[in-house]
Chain A
């Protein structure tokens, strides 16, 4: 295949220019043509497992999965027809026939891709009755709950863990109806706990323990900001409900992390609303802290710093600013030390 070559194809009769390394799905998405997907994830390798994205191609007798099918020059594609809709709908219906109907308490409700497809195809009644998988909920780990009764075997978590995280903590195990995503020997999950598999899961099979029952997607306010741990500077979406941070989600496509997070960035938010947070100024009197007003506390500080400056000189006072505070905080801190106090003795723990 010649890289960079442009193919002329048609999608639903519309002329489309596609790149030589495009799949049908990619070419369609670029043109804003909707093809439903489930096992497809834009950051992972195509898998072609769910068949929800099937389309018809002139000259090929059977429908093909658009997420794996490369384009060829002159290809004529149809993304919608009665037959295509019927097959897609049946595929989703078959998945739903072995999926719990507990959307009312499911963490994923409102952002569940399966729920969206069921709605898109109007599947209010499931025709198929049969055996249903029963798995024990696996939560013998610090941060993740894995409910494989809800798993649709799209393999997105497997690919995320392998291709992006490079860990490979989980994979498909067993065959056919008994197939399940599992750790080696189906043991307790022991990984880096980055939680990126949660972001990859299209349904509610994987959820973060600290966020369970803390807020539905439509109840939370989401604000984009920067993670406060290491120096990577990942973009994060802080989810708040009623003044409490209940979840941290990735910023799609955004930031240096391209939506990926680590265990601290993803799960390390509980301290924000921890009861130990200092809530009022404290002044030590006779060896014990006593609550004080801001006026009182700042007057004590100003008086003491003023007294010491006068008695021992500006260089008898030092200041430590912070690698965890904003640049604006730090700028004012050093300006305060240099102007109000009159010393250059300002530093921070850049060396630890």
Chain B
């Protein structure tokens, strides 16, 4: 996020696209709800599905799944046409608007309506809110990123924010809501195939030299590695032979699980380090028991870039060990000792090689977390980014055109499946499905289907149906609801026995490697009545 959570109570308007904030980031949603209810802030929600936040929305734009870029372009078209852009900001802080304008030209409200299904009056009204209000905060999550055009969608949100001068000030900004407790930290730490810690590219010679020296290692690879999705393909092709998995469950979280299963079966050696026997661990050659978050020290970095201290509450259960200790032990056995005494020593090393974390130490964040960039020990942290200037200098408008999703419904697979998270379960359910109360709130997966479609298929609420895509099939209970529009069905991916990701497609965004988990085509069939033996 460019901005901080606490700031949002003072925004004048919010634009939320592709984020079911109340369910996936409940505490951030509280700020938005309070802003709307007590401070008169306006809320524009763009989502194909009715989500809890639409109840509080000034305006709900129900665009077709995968039509985000067209919608965003349509909004910008209207803003420019009505002269609602922030000319001072554009002139002083940005470049390349003319190129963007060329693309925007054709996105008239009527043209945009054709692609997105959003009535032109609503589009204009939304553009007026975003264009006219002073402090507008933009929020997005995987609703716009899990597409083959995910990166372009994000750039498009950035275009809109820059066009309206909503970057570099409090209570505004481009704010991706990150889905997991330390997904920000894992990225910051270089848990990425193309970056060393702190987003320092692996294929830049100076970085290679820096890390070779810092780690006293002459055998660092100079070329980017494989992304998670590319590793799966490489394993299927027989090129990737071994995989070490720590605290991940790709056999439920990956798109097109059937493909991932093939990959894992093809591996020569698989080691999984986890707290439970997950679907992935069950396939491993060696399983290493890890400690849970209350059994370790360290830090998590939240979605607003705040590095916060994790404190050990309990001893690890049984013989399980803290992840970093297992890694250090294994590394020593492979000839590279890692003699750290504790996690604060590791953080000191992180700070020494990662400028973003340069001023961060466990001691400094004892009481309160610090937001990166925090380059030196005296730096107070950075509540919001891009004040006065962007990292690269001027903000560059990147023209983005609309491209349809990889797989749209057709005669054979007439429904569009979209997936997401729900409030009471988390990720692959390994934790939340072992909590009695949460299981009682939602014991099993379901598929939302519109009443008109249910009627046509003669499906009643709660009936089990077979759902199939070109990649796999599952049976799942149906939930007949108007939350989804006709011809669109929705599922959560938390449930192994009705795994939505058996159906999803691994069509990738070429830039980020993200898969289009938000759009694929499926067909739905009534289950044949069981034959009763007499």
Contact = CB atoms under 8 A, between A and B. Distances in A.
A278 B329 contact: no
A324 B247 contact: yes
Contacts of B336: 336, 339-340
B244 A337 contact: yes
Nearest to B216: A339
Interface string B218-238: 011101111111010011000
B434 interface: yes
B26 to A, nearest CB: 4
A300 B244 CA distance: 13
Interface in A330-352: 330-352
Contacts of B223: 344
A66 interface: no
* Tier of interface size on chain B: 35 or more
B5 A351 contact: no
Residue of A228, A334, A349 most packed against chain B (CB within 10 A): A349
A269 interface: yes
Contacts, number: 467
Contacts of A213: none
Contact of B268 (A256, A302, A308): A308
B323 A325 contact: yes
A243 B314 CA distance: 6
Interface stretch (B93-101, B108-116, B284-292): B284-292
Contacts of A330: 182, 185-186, 189-191
A192 B289 CA distance: 33
Interface stretch (B127-135, B305-313, B446-454): B305-313
Nearest to A321: B191
Nearest to B296: A326
B287 to A, nearest CB: 4
Interface in A10-44: none
Contact of B319 (A194, A289, A294): A294
B333 A320 contact: no
Interface string B78-90: 0000000000000
Residue of A193, A238, A322 most packed against chain B (CB within 10 A): A322
A89 interface: no
Contacts of A101: none
Contacts of A223: 294, 311-313
B390 interface: no
Contact of A316 (B196, B239, B313, B425): B239
Residue of B22, B191, B426, B427 most packed against chain A (CB within 10 A): B191
A146 to B, nearest CB: 15
B34 A166 contact: yes
Contacts of A351: 145-146, 228-229, 512-515
B441 interface: yes
Interface string A264-287: 110111111110111111111000
Interface stretch (A56-64, A176-184, A229-237): A229-237
A326 B26 CA distance: 22
Contacts of B457: none
Contact of B300 (A165, A209, A226): A226
A274 B434 contact: yes
B221 A344 contact: yes
Interface of A: 142-143, 163-166, 192-194, 209-210, 221, 223-235, 238, 240, 243, 245, 255-257, 260-265, 267-274, 276-284, 289, 292, 294, 297-302, 304-306, 308, 311-312, 314-352
Given A320-B231, A345-B226, 16 more contacts: A142-B436, A193-B424, A223-B312, A225-B309, A228-B431, A240-B294, A262-B26, A264-B438, A270-B436, A272-B314, A279-B289, A280-B318, A282-B286, A316-B239, A325-B186, A352-B515
11 contacts: A142-B436, A166-B34, A231-B179, A232-B26, A270-B436, A284-B285, A301-B271, A325-B323, A333-B323, A339-B220, A345-B225
